[in-house]
Chain A
Amino acid sequence: MLFNSIEFVIFFIVVTGLYFLLNHRYRWMLLLISSCYFYMAFVPVYILILGFTIVIDYYAGILIEGSTGKRRKSWLVVSLVANIGVLAIFKYYNFINDNITALLYGVGQSNPIPYLNILLPIGLSFHTFQAMSYTIEVYRGHQKAERHFGIYSLYVMFYPQLVAGPIERPQNLLFQFYKEHKFEYTRVISGLQLMLWGFFKKLVIADRLAVYVDSIYNNAEHHNGPTLIVATIFFAFQIYCDFSGYSDIAIGSAKVMGFDLMTNFKRPYFSSSISEFWSRWHISLSTWFRDYLYISLGGNRVSVPRWYFNLFIVFLISGLWHGANWTYIIWGALNGLYLVFALVRARYIDTFFQKNINLPSPLVKSVNIMVTFALICFSWIFFRAASFQDASLIITKMITTGGSVFVSNAFLFLYCILAIILLIGIELRQELKGQILFFKSDRLILRNLSYIFLILLILLIGVFDGGQFIYFQF
């Protein structure tokens, strides 16, 4: 069930209505049943995989808590192997197998390992990472093992964030299922505001840009450099609005019922450095890697070369997390390199400039924002391209070919430009004033006019036949 469907709107109204009508004691059951229904609306049979990891992690949590020393660690290993194993089979098996085939082919051998004809369960990477954070936190002693099987299942399956995050931590989410959430007017309104903003980003911006981006990227060989540059910039806004739109709807729908999920995006394209970008983009994943991988590798409390290596490896794995394709791995590696270079630059070059040259800071900030955006756009080429060959072709064409930007449908192109201008305008206000349009105004009329304005824009220029969210595939 997609968030951008009438089915979801009906589902949300019914579930939220019943949630507030039910006695607190039974609410977890309602949420669990509705989450199962939500997940099974995609491919019903994959709930069995989810069930498998839930059972393993539930018992692993209890066993970890009840043991010490090596035994404690071995239960954690069992849980991690089960989760990573499921990911490996469903997400990486065929990718690894393809690469083995290519390697063996290179030495004139054939690959005896069979190809698995399986579909990737929706949101697999998200809920396995959330499940792993639970057993790791229990192991570290930061979280008590959850004894209530239903509540633990709900922690993994809570429908707003089940298929594309935010990837929650047990300390932030589990206790909220025990709390009685009363109907609070201000909270409900604030949740609905976020949902409306999320729908706007998805329907008006992301899906509109997708039409142009898909038409160019799917036929990259026929297009010139300027067209590919424009399509890449459009894709940068498309993926941002697609994913942050999803996150806003998820956080907003949970908020209406009284749950606080973690912030996932903070207007990342206003970042003036790559490290700032990663503190504003997909925050729940970045912090997951920081907490469970980067710190485990020693973080920055190691020698400088090792520190750079730690950063690079975390981003490389983050790329692999996104998808079983070399393009994602290169995308991750590229971002890792950016960060390492930024650290080197900060250490030597920036210090020199700060001491010797005095440029006005708004100018420096503006230039930095543009450079950061350009670097991120460059990395998006690998993220969007179907293969490494396609990405190479696109980059080559960007450098070597000129001409005018391809516009097959002038109206579509104009809509895309207008949508981006609108987004930048609204987010600039949010960045400076801390609110979307007049969402937090003291004047009721201004707040309501803001909502009506967005609803009208959705009805007038939203794409109602749009596809699913990009991050669902991960």
Chain B
Amino acid sequence: MEKQDIFRFVKRTLLFFLAVFLVDFAVGQVMRYFYFRQDSGSLYRTTYALDSTTAQVLVLGSSRASRHYNPDVMQVAMNRTVYNAGQKGNHIFYHYGILKGVLRRYKPQVVVLDILYDEFKPVQDSYDRLSVFLPYHDTHPELEELINLRSPFEPVKLVSKVYPYNSLILPVLNGNLGFDKVREPEIKGYLPIDAVMTDSVKKRSERIEYGLDSLKLQTFEEIMSTCKKEGINLYVVFSPAYLENIGNNYSVSIARKIASEQGVPFLDFSGTEPFVSDNKLYSDNVHLNAKGADIFSRQVADSIANRLKNQN
């Protein structure tokens, strides 16, 4: 009886997993089709950065990058095409992934890496967010190393064809229906905000020293060495924030120090006018609004253009 039960269980389990495998494959293919069919939204911007952009100047960073760098303004000052590949909620690993993906196709002349305050703080979320690369795991082998930072079991999970699209049904639907074209229009990856910050009181950002994430530091150094090896002009930028003492942030100081050691220009706008005193250029403490972004884009582009001119 027991042997019969075991035999029945094994047989039915195998058949069941075959059925799961087939359904998973079919649903995964449908998700994949609609994922890469998107023509707007944040997921689309990642795909565009990895697979399509050929801009001479590439901006990398988090939401601060996507909100602060207006490619149209920068293009005029730099006389080069610009694409803003900033992505909200992401950290240094994401920026490195985009750089690696882009380098498979072409070599940008300039890379602007917008560094985040507390960039090197150990936060699990920075690793979890690497799920953004899961849909590209089979087309972009260069991202595998970064994807595996999520957990040692990622290759096992990726046996499923649906897993790469986990939690993406609604965003993919949104990207296919084009709601973001109206809700959050983009200009070459740049996402302007019209809102104006109402609170003019400037809060103080205390410098807190913490144990640094060695993997993040290593990734930062790898971005610098990759650019050096490929002959790309890399500029590390700390863009404005309406916070007192933010330029003294621990991670920012570390980034400044490492950049200086590697001979990479570090452009610090934390103490630059008019951003230091005018809260009307911000939408909140850490994000410039469209007006502020235009002024900042001009300043940063002029600064880089001058350096490039002197270099030549």
Contact = CB atoms under 8 A, between A and B. Distances in A.
A465 interface: yes
Nearest to B5: A185
A462 B174 CA distance: 19
B165 to A, nearest CB: 7
Interface in B160-186: 160, 162-163, 165-167, 169-171, 174
Interface stretch (B18-26, B60-68, B218-226, B287-295): B18-26
B9 A459 contact: no
Interface centre among A189, A460, A463 (most CB of B within 10 A): A460
A415 B170 contact: yes
A356 B100 CA distance: 78
B9 A464 contact: no
A465 B131 CA distance: 10
Interface stretch (A268-276, A341-349, A447-455): A447-455
A465 to B, nearest CB: 4
A451 to B, nearest CB: 7
Contact of A6 (B6, B156, B169): B156
A414 B170 contact: yes
B20 A455 contact: yes
A63 B72 CA distance: 85
Contacts of A465: 124, 128, 131, 150
Contacts of B162: 456, 459-460
B217 to A, nearest CB: 23
Contacts of B8: 185
Contacts of A452: 19-20, 23
A273 B167 CA distance: 37
B16 interface: yes
A183 B167 contact: no
A183 B166 contact: no
B215 to A, nearest CB: 17
Contacts of B20: 452, 455
B104 to A, nearest CB: 28
Contacts of A7: 153
A239 B82 CA distance: 48
A188 B23 CA distance: 24
B157 interface: yes
Nearest to B164: A459
B195 interface: no
Contacts of B150: 465
Contacts of B166: 459-462, 464
A462 B169 CA distance: 12
A459 B163 contact: yes
A179 to B, nearest CB: 14
B14 interface: no
Given A448-B16, A465-B128, A185 B9 contact: yes
A183 B16 CA distance: 19
Interface in A169-190: 182-185, 188-189
Nearest to B31: A460
B5 A183 contact: yes
Interface string B180-219: 0000000000000000000000000000000000000000
Highest count of chain B CB atoms <10 Å: which of A185, A414, A459, A462: A459
A287 B31 CA distance: 47
A461 B170 CA distance: 10
Contact of A456 (B24, B156, B174): B24
B2 interface: yes
A228 to B, nearest CB: 22
B169 A460 contact: yes
A182 B23 contact: no
Nearest to A467: B124
A456 B27 contact: yes
Nearest to B1: A182
Interface string B84-123: 0000000000000000000000000000000000000000
A184 B5 contact: yes
Contact of A183 (B9, B128, B163, B174): B9
Interface string A435-457: 00000000000001001100110
A311 to B, nearest CB: 43
A459 B5 contact: no
Contacts of A20: 6
Contacts of A26: none
Interface centre among B6, B31, B150, B171 (most CB of A within 10 A): B6
B16 A451 contact: yes
A461 B165 CA distance: 9
Query: 4 tightest CB-CB pairs across the interface, nearest first?
Result: A185-B5, A6-B153, A465-B128, A459-B162
Given A6-B151, A183-B6, A465-B131, 18 more contacts: A7-B153, A183-B2, A183-B9, A184-B2, A184-B5, A185-B5, A411-B167, A415-B167, A415-B170, A452-B20, A456-B27, A459-B24, A459-B162, A459-B166, A460-B165, A461-B166, A464-B157, A465-B128
27 contacts: A6-B151, A6-B153, A183-B2, A183-B5, A183-B6, A183-B9, A184-B5, A185-B8, A411-B170, A411-B174, A448-B19, A452-B19, A452-B20, A452-B23, A456-B23, A456-B24, A459-B162, A460-B27, A460-B31, A460-B167, A461-B167, A462-B166, A464-B157, A464-B163, A464-B166, A465-B124, A465-B131
